Amino acid sequence: MPPDTSVPGVASSKLRLAGIGAAVIVIIIVVAGLSLRASSNEQLRNWTDEQAIPSVSILKPGKHVGTPTLDLPGRLEPYSRASLYARVSGYLKSWKVDIGAPVKAGQLLAEIETPDLDQQLLQGKADLAGAQANASLAEITAQRWQLLLSSNYVSKQAADEKTGDFMAKKALRDSGQANLDRLRAQKNFTRIVAPFDGLVTARRTDIGTLINAGSGMGQELFEVSKTNTLRVYVNVPQTYVPRIPSGTKARITVPEQPGKIYAATIASSAEAVNIASGATLMQILVDNANGELLPGAFANVSFDLPHNLVVLSVPTSALMFDKAGLRVATVGPATRLC
């Protein structure tokens, strides 16, 4: 019986068909995946484009008829402020008042011990005593020579020399007196006193501290401020300056006194516009007899502008500030939003 040779060929054909079928399935899966991915990318692109379209809220400006109010920040300052320095060198002997203490004009704040100045005073007194003695002797001598001159016992030249010597000794005496007066005046400066009624707002020294004379080298010892009336400095924009003349009433509020309003009046204006800020500095006086307002504190200043105007009110989100200045954002038919 002859051998069956058809079986291997049939098996090979079946394997070939299975491979082709698998390849087709793989191709179909890849194509479907690519198509699905492309569709997803297209959807994502369309969604992104839709989200990129800007949206705005359109509001119409409101109208306010009446007396407009201008609110500006300000800074409270003492009506008068004095930084006290020593006029003589030495050591601080004692101080009498501390920060926050009320003082009267001429009240003693501190004393300075001046051993060097004390020695100069003793020397000045001794120099003056010697000059006075020499001047007295020269005066008596000049008078006697004038009597001898009238009797022709001495020459006029000799009498004039004695008179000149007396005048020189008298000048030395006067110089010694002036020097002693200067030293005594310096000795009076060992007492640091208040220049006016007010509060001690700073004490920057203590007992035993080395004191150097003058504001250039020495340190500030005390600061005294007059606070029963305060100055408020505020920068008013150039546009509003003509409508806020001196004498205009103002209202002042401070954070530490919520709900309390202090009446004030514009006292003076710089009458000039600051180039950097475009505003005019104005000075306002406010009564502080009860001491509620603190020097150096922030304050809000409100002005009632004197003219009735129709004022447009727009939200701050509609304002744009760039190199062209302050502008209001508007939307129209041809407006392109980027």
| Ordered structural domains, the chain, with CATH | 69-77+229-328 (2.40.30.170), 115-189 (1.10.287.470)
Name the phi and psi angles at 211, rounded to 5.
Answer: -110, 125
pTM listed for this prediction = 0.60
pLDDT tens digit string along 240-275? 888 888 888 889 999 888 889 999 888 888 888 888
How confident is the model at residue 337, as a pLDDT? 47
As a whole number of Å, the CA-based R_g of the chain is 48
Name the phi and psi angles at 218, rounded to 5.
Answer: -80, 160
Q: Which of 320, 256, 305, 306 is nearest to 72 (CA)?
A: 305
How confident is the model at residue 338, as a pLDDT? 47
Unique residue bearing structure tokens 């070939």:
16
Task: Tally the C-alpha atoms within 13 A of residue 177's C-alpha that lie toward its C-beta.
Answer: 9
Name the phi and psi angles at 110, rounded to 5.
Answer: -160, 165
Q: Residue 324: how many CB atoms within 10 A of its CB?
A: 7
How confident is the model at residue 39, as a pLDDT? 75
pLDDT tens digit string along 42-79? 777 777 766 665 666 777 776 655 557 788 898 999 99
